[in-house]
Amino acid sequence: MLRIPGAYCVALWLRTADGAHDAFVPLAPCPPGLKPGAALGEDQLRAALLPEARKQLAAPSEDATGGTTR
């Protein structure tokens, strides 16, 4: 199980013995650009999650006191 909290994504990580052909299967709900249940390679998963990651980095975040930072 692979959890990517910054992109609001959980996926099954299917490992191969040599690690060269690992597959990632996103679970619903998942970010736009990903289809739940469709196996992706590492590069495909990274490319699909990049827009959500950039959106999260650009958004102001709350600090421990409830104020916003950035």
Q: What is the pLDDT of residue 5?
A: 86
Confidence of residue 45 (pLDDT cuts 50, 70, 90): very high
Q: Is the pLDDT of residue 48 over 70?
A: yes
3-state secondary structure 9-66: EEEEEECCCCCCCCEEEECCCCCCCCCCCCCECHHHHHHHHHHHHHHHHHCCEECCCC
pLDDT in tens, 17-41: 887 889 999 999 998 889 999 999 9
- The rounded distance, in Å, linking the Cα atoms of 29 and 19 is 26
Rg (CA), the chain: 14
Confidence of residue 64 (pLDDT cuts 50, 70, 90): low
Confidence of residue 62 (pLDDT cuts 50, 70, 90): low
The per-residue pLDDT of the chain, averaged, comes to: 86
